[in-house]
Amino acid sequence: QTRAYSVLTETPVAKLYNYKDVKEIASNPQSYPGSVLVDVREPVEFNDGHIPGALNIPFKSSPGALDLSAEEFRENFGFDKPSPEKELVFYCLGGVRSTAAEELANTFGYTKRGNYVGSWEDWVANENA
């Protein structure tokens, strides 16, 4: 009799963030030096409004951005590539691109990941409440 073994690789699960969590990071970045807010929308969307302190790393036009060398990243985006030691908290417009970006970031060695699933739509609704 043969036995079949299932080998599962453990993917660290992303922490899910809500408005209150993200507002705290955006309002007090010095209290959260290990967290980076990452807006994965396209630059035109980002320029129309974004969460204070967020970095714009567009997922659709630059899906492999976090796999670039530090030098290539800086040339492309004009700021330093976030360290894999940091927790990247992704958001987009409604949570679809941020989920994909968060999952892809894991394959590039970013094991500390968060996803603000409500994303920009939720932020705006709460800010205007």
For tokens 């940091």, what's the residue?
86
Question: Distance between CA atoms of 123 and 116, rounded to whole angstroms?
Answer: 9
**Catalytic annotation, pick one of 22, 51, 92, 117:** 92
Question: Distance between CA atoms of 128 and 26, rounded to whole angstroms?
Answer: 16
**Is 55 in contact with 38 (CB distance < 8 Å)?**
yes
Question: Distance between CA atoms of 126 and 39, rounded to whole angstroms?
Answer: 17
Instruction: Find the angle CA(24)-CA(25)-CA(28) to the nearest 5 degrees.
Output: 80
Q: Tokens in use for 48?
A: 């129309």
The answer to whether residue 37 is catalytic is no
Which residues belong to the active site? 92
